[in-house]
Chains A and B, each alone.
Chain A
C-alpha cells in the first residue's frame, strides 16, 4: 500500500538524514520506525505527508507518487498525530476533533455525528467534553483526543510521531492497549515513530530499525528479536531479546508446539493462569515462586495442564533455532 523507493533526504550537501530507504508497507499494518534520536525516523515519517521534502527517490501510496499529488489534499487524507498532541487551545474538544472534516467542508450534522462516534470509540462522553477546552483535560485524555482527531475524516493512512512518548508509563500502556483495540476495528495503515523497543514489540506488525538514516533491519518483531541481522540490531534490542520475544508468544502457542505437563495432583499449593497469557508474564510468575504449581486453564475455565520453567525454556529453544525464512516479511522487503 505504501512503498518507499530509494528515498533519500539531505539538508545540506553530502550529509544524509535519510539514505536510500526501500520498503513496502501492507494495508492495515502498524509499521514502527524504531531507532535512537537523530536516526532519521521522524524525517522519514514526515516525508510521507510532505512536511519534509524528498531529496531523491519516491514514496507511493496505492501506486501513486505522492510528489504528484496536491500536498494539502494529500495531508487531509492522512491522519497525523504528534507527541505533544497538537490540540488547538483556542478550540473546544468538538471543534478540535472535527477540524479535518471541517476543512473538507462536511455539514454540521455530519460533523457532530462523527464527533459522537469518535468519542465513543475512546470511551469519553461526547456531551460532557463537547464544550471543554484541551487544557481542562488530563494528558492521557488529550492524547486520546489527538488520536481520534487524526481518525476523524477516516483516512486510510495514519502517521504517528511518538504519540504516547510524553505519557507516564501506566497511562501509556493503557492507551497503547486501547489504541490496539481501536486499530482492530478501523484497520488503518499506520506508520509510527518510536524510540521505545518495548512499545515497538507490543504494537508493531513490522519494525523498521534505523540508524544514521539507513534501515538496519525490517521485519516482524519476532523476526528481529530472534534473528537480529547485525551487531547493531542485537545491541539495540538488548541482551534480553529472548525474554522480550516471549512476550510475543502465549501459553496456547506453546501448548500447540510442545504441549503442557501433566498436573501433579499431590501438590496443593497451585496458581491459575489463562491460556492466552503471554509467556513473558508467565515466566515472571514462575520465577516469583508464587506457588508450587501453575495450572493453565482456557477461557471456559477448563484445565489444560500445568506449565513449568523447563517447558518455557524448551519452547524458547525451539523458537530461537527456527530459520529466518519462516518468520517471513524480510524477503519481499529487500527486493
Chain B
C-alpha cells in the first residue's frame, strides 16, 4: 500500500519534471515563437478548432442522446444492438477515411470536417448513455412506478440523475477524441490548429509543430477537466462511485 503510494508519487514527480523540462526546452529554442509572432493567425486557428469541436460535439449530443433514450425504453430495448452495431461500424472506419468520404458528400472545407467529427463522436456518447441507462437497477424503476410516479417523473427524477455520470463520461471521451481528430481537418481544408501541425511535419519545422500541438493538447486536457467538473456538479456523489470504478484507469 505504502510502496504503491511512493511509486505513484515518484512517477508523478518524474512526469511533471518531464513536462516542465519540455516547456523550458521548447521555450529556449523558440519553438513557441509562431504563437507570439503570428498571434492573429494563431487565434483564428484556435477559433476554427474550437468551432469544429463544439459544433460537431453538439450535433453528436443532439443525435446520440435521444437515440440512447429511445433504445433503452422497454419497447425498443431489443433493437439496441442494431444501433450499437451501426455506431460501432462508423467508429471502425479510420478517421482519414471518414474525412475522405465526407468530401465526397459535402465537398471541401469546414462542413465536411464537422460532419466527419460528428460521425466520430456519436458512438462514445451513444454507448455511454445506453450503458448509463441500462445500469440503473430495475428495482428503482419498479419502486418509482409502485409509488405512483408517472413515466416522465421516473425518467427525469430517477433515470437521468442516476445515469448522468456515465453520460458525461461519454461526452468527455467524445470531446477529447474530437479535439485530437480535428487536427486532421486541415487535410480537407477544414482549418484549425492542424494547419500548423501538418505544416510543421511537412517542413520539419518544430516551431510550427509544437505551436500547433501544445495548444491542442492543452485544449483536450482543459475540456476533460471541465466536463469532469460538470459531471461532479450534476451527479450526486452516491451515484458516482459505481461509475468511477468502471471508468478510472
- Residues of A with Cβ closer than 8 Å to B? 49, 51, 72-77, 80, 82, 84, 86-92, 99-100, 103, 133-136, 149-150, 159
Known interface pairs A75-B148, A90-B236, A133-B237. Does A80 touch B143 (Cβ–Cβ under 8 Å)? yes
* Chain B residues, CB < 8 A from A82: 139, 142-143, 146
CB contacts (< 8 Å) of A99 on chain B: these are 147, 149
Instruction: Give the distance in Å from the alpha carbon of A90 to the alpha carbon of B147 in the complex.
Output: 17
**CA A6 – CA B143 in complex, angstroms?**
27
Of the candidates B140, B162, B235, the one having the most CB atoms from chain A within 10 angstroms of its own CB is B140
Q: Quick check: B142 and A86 within 8 Å, CB to CB? A: yes
| A76, A87, A88, A91: most-surrounded residue (chain B CB, <10 A) | A88
Interface hub of A82, A87, A90, A103 (most chain B Cβ within 10 A): A90
A51 to B235, CA, bound (A): 29
Assess the A84–B236 pair: CB atoms within 8 A. no
Within 8 A of A (CB), among B121-162: 137, 139-140, 142-150, 153, 157-158, 161-162
CA distance A82 to B238 in the complex (A): 21
* Chain B residues, Cβ within 8 Å of A100: 147-148
Contact check, A135 vs B238: say whether CB atoms are below 8 A apart.
Answer: yes
B148 near A72 with CB under 8 A, answer yes
User: Which A residues touch B241, using CB under 8 A?
Assistant: 135
In the complex, besides A88-B143, A135-B238, 5 extra interface pairs with C-beta distance below 8 angstroms are A75-B148, A86-B139, A90-B236, A91-B236, A100-B148
Tell me the bound Cα distance from A150 to B161 in angstroms.
Answer: 22
Does any Cβ of A come within 8 Å of B239's Cβ? yes
Chain B residues with Cβ below 8 Å from A77 are: 148
Which of A72, A86, A103 is packed against the most chain B CB atoms within 10 Å? A86
Decide if B239 touches A90 in the complex (CB within 8 Å): yes
Q: Do A51 and B145 touch across chains, with their CB atoms under 8 A apart? A: yes
A51 near B148: Cβ-Cβ < 8 Å = no
B154 to chain A, nearest CB (A): 10
26 A–B contacts from the bound complex (CB under 8 Å): A49-B146, A51-B142, A51-B145, A51-B146, A72-B148, A75-B146, A75-B148, A76-B148, A82-B142, A84-B137, A86-B139, A86-B140, A86-B143, A88-B140, A89-B140, A90-B161, A90-B162, A90-B236, A91-B236, A92-B236, A100-B147, A103-B147, A103-B149, A103-B153, A149-B147, A159-B146
B162 partner residues in chain A, CB cutoff 8 A: 88-90
Q: From residue B203, how far is it (CB to closest CB) to chain A in Å? A: 54
Which residues of chain B come closer than 8 Å to A86, judged between CB atoms? 139-140, 142-144, 146
B residues near A, CB below 8 A?
137, 139-140, 142-150, 153, 157-158, 161-162, 235-239, 241
Roughly how many angstroms separate A159 CA and B143 CA in the complex, as a whole number? 11
Minimum distance in angstroms from A134 CB to a CB of chain B: 7
CA–CA, A131 and B83, complex, Å: 40
**Closest beta carbon of chain A to B55's beta carbon, Å:** 31
Q: Determine the chain A residues whose CB is within 8 A of the CB of B238 once the complex forms.
A: 89-90, 133-136
Contact A73 B148 (CB under 8 A): yes
Instruction: Please measure, in the bound complex, the distance between the C-alpha atom of A84 and the C-alpha atom of B136, giving whole angstroms.
Output: 13
Closest B residue to A80 using CB positions:
B146
CB of B35, distance to nearest CB on chain A (Å): 44
Instruction: For residue A281, give the distance in angstroms from its CB to the closest CB of chain B.
Output: 36
Query: In the complex the two chains form, what is the Cα distance from A73 to B149 in whole Å?
Result: 9
A95–B148 CA distance with the chains assembled, in angstroms: 16
Chain B residues positioned under 8 Å from A51 (CB to CB): 142, 145-146
CA distance A75 to B143 in the complex (A): 11
Q: Complex Cα distance A86/B138, Å?
A: 9
**Interchain CB contact under 8 A, B150 and A72:** yes
Across-interface contacts of A75 in B (CB, < 8 A): 145-148
Min CB gap B159→A, angstroms: 10
- Chain B neighbourhood of A134, CB < 8 A: 238
Alpha-carbon distance A86/B137, docked complex (angstroms):
9
Q: Roughly how many angstroms separate A150 CA and B146 CA in the complex, as a whole number?
A: 10
- CA distance in complex: A327, B146 (Å): 35
State how many angstroms separate the Cβ of A88 from the closest Cβ of chain B.
6
Q: Nearest B residue to A71 by beta-carbon distance?
A: B148
Residues of B near A91 (CB, < 8 A) are 236
Residues of B within 8 A of A72 (CB): 148, 150
Closest to A84 in B: B139
Cβ 8 A contact of A90, one of B143, B146, B153, B235: B235
Set of chain B residues within 8 Å of A80, measured between Cβ atoms: 143, 146-147
Per the bound structure, the CA–CA distance linking A134 and B157 in Å amounts to 16
In whole angstroms, how far apart are the Cα atoms of A99 and B239 in the complex?
Answer: 18
